[in-house]
Structure formats: structure tokens, C-alpha cells
Amino acid sequence: MRLGIISALQEEQEGLVEAMQGPYKLIHGMREYVAGRLWEIDAVCVLSRIGKVAAATTATLLVEKFGVTHILFTGVAGAGDAAIKVGDIVVAESLVQHDMDASPLFPRFEVPLTGLSHFASDRQLALDLHDAARFFLETDFIHAIDARERADFGLRAPRVHRGLVGSGDQFVGDREHIQSLGKALPGLLAVEMEGAAVAQVCFELGVSYGVIRTISDNANENAATDFMRFVKSVAARYAFYIVRQFCRQVRSRIQASKDSAGT
């Protein structure tokens, strides 16, 4: 396994890059790729920057130039449903490009010539991410996030959700917009700007992928308030602990299968 880890914003990935053992940096196409070992997993970390094209390019290069076999996207997102709160975690089971519309030639949301609007993420990666996120909330959350940040952002009992994530080249910061997306896409849990682009690339190249997002805002008029503070003091810490637990889980599964093959 060679794991590619993508985030959109620098603050989201800093801790992971610092934790990397034997880091080796390579700059290509205006991005810095850092390869090394993360908790015993061979990994490459990179910032995609924001938006679908940026994410698609980054995912393609991770596969074609860096030989990754699995891709993980960690980042923040706006809530797509009133039941999803700031500080909750959403693991994508499927992803849709919510701004794709080639109707009437193709149904709204369908990516032309793929026959698909919803791209399913890898089941095992989604399960591992879900377990790692739950583990984080149950064990590390209380120490990892400052009491002041928990109070200021109203983080009481964050939860993990699994389901549909929508991506588009728009920061959704308008109540009517998020409500109409929710109506058009039943089960929509979160909106962001990269995940579904990575999903399409991975689908086309036959690479496994998972997407995990910490909810930073309600995708309404208040969405941009304190956004960067949340990313730095809350979401970056979530990403660090969840990816650490994810790598440990994957590592022990690899070890267990080696052990059973050896006996």
C-alpha cells in the first residue's frame, strides 16, 4: 500500500507532514509532495489547493507520478443537513459534483459519458475512517481540542456520519443555496470543493479512495466567520488524530494478514 493524503489547505496538513519519518520533498506542477512513512505506512502528503480542477490534477499526479495505490482526502466542509453540526465528522460513502449540469443532454449531476452522478468510495477505507473517527471522538477529542475552542465553537458531543458528500467550485454560504442542493440531492450530508473530483479520477484510474471531512460551518451566511480559526485549532487536530488512528488500524491489518500467511 502506498497512501496519498490530500488536503486543500495548508493548516489541515501541517501536523501530518511534521509526523512523517524520513520525509523527502519534491516540487512538481506548483505543488509540494512529501513522501515518507506515517505510522509505518508508506505515504505521500500534498496540498491540492482549493477546487475540483486543483484536486483532480493532484490526485492524477499522485497516482501517475508517485505510484500511490490508495488516496485519502481530509479536510473541512459545510453541513448539508440541519442534523449535521459544526464539529461533526462526515465520512463519504459516495460523492457527487453538485455543480455538474449538462441537462438536457444528460441528467442533472451525471458526469457525461460515465453514466454516473454518484461515485462510491472504497468500502474498507470508509469503514476504517469511520472507526478511526469514532475512536478519536471517544478517546482523544477531549484532550486534543482546547476547552476554550470547544466552548466557542459549541462542540458538545460531536458525532460521525456516513453518506453523501457534494463538491462544487463554489463556497456555499447562502441558506437558500444549501437548502435547494439538499432537496435536489437526497441524503446530502456535507458540501465542499474537492472530494467528488478526486472520486472521479480514482474511479477512472481504478484507485481506492476515501474522503473524510470535519464540519466547519453551516454553509449559510455565517459560513466564513472564524473559518480559518476553526481550521487551525479544531480541524487540523481532528485530521492528525484520525489519520494516525487510521494508519495504525491499516498497519495492524497488514501485519495480521502477513502473520496468517506465514503460519
CB of 56 to ligand SAH, least distance (A): 13
165 binds ligand SAH (CB under 6 A): no
CB of 99 to ligand SAH, least distance (A): 11
State which of positions 38-67 bind ligand SAH (CB under 6 A). 50
Count the Cβ atoms, other than its own, within 10 Å of residue 26. 13
Binding part of the chain for ligand SAH, among 22-30, 71-79, 137-145, 253-261 by CB under 6 A, reads 71-79
CB closer to ligand SAH out of 95 and 160: 95
Binding part of the chain for ligand SAH, among 15-23, 128-136, 197-205, 219-227 by CB under 6 A, reads 219-227
Instruction: Give the cell for residue 147.
Output: 476547552
8 binds ligand SAH (CB under 6 A): yes
Torsion, Cα of 44, 256, 210, 245 (10° steps): -70
11 binds ligand SAH (CB under 6 A): no
CB of 79 to ligand SAH, least distance (A): 8
- The site that binds ligand SAH (CB under 6 A) totals a number of residues, namely 18
Binding ligand SAH (rule: CB under 6 A), the pick from 60, 63, 217, 250 is 217
State which of positions 72-131 bind ligand SAH (CB under 6 A). 75-78
Query: Kindly report the CA angle at 188 between 184 and 192, in degrees rounded to 5?
Result: 105
Beta bridge partners of 28: 31
Nearest to 161 by CA among 136, 123, 130: 130
How far is it, in rounded angstroms, from Cα 61 to Cα 147? 40
CB closer to ligand SAH out of 75 and 158: 75
CA terminus-to-terminus distance, the chain? 22
193 binds ligand SAH (CB under 6 A): yes
CB closer to ligand SAH out of 62 and 90: 90
174 binds ligand SAH (CB under 6 A): no
CB of 76 to ligand SAH, least distance (A): 5
Cα 133 to its chain centre, rounded Å, is 12
Pairs from 257-262 (Cβ < 8 Å, separation ≥ 24): none
Beta bridge partners of 161: 90
CA atoms within 13 A on the CB side of 4: 28
Element (H, E) at 188: strand 188-192
Residues forming contacts to ligand SAH in the complex (CB under 6 A) are 8, 50, 75-78, 171-173, 191-194, 216-217, 219, 223, 227
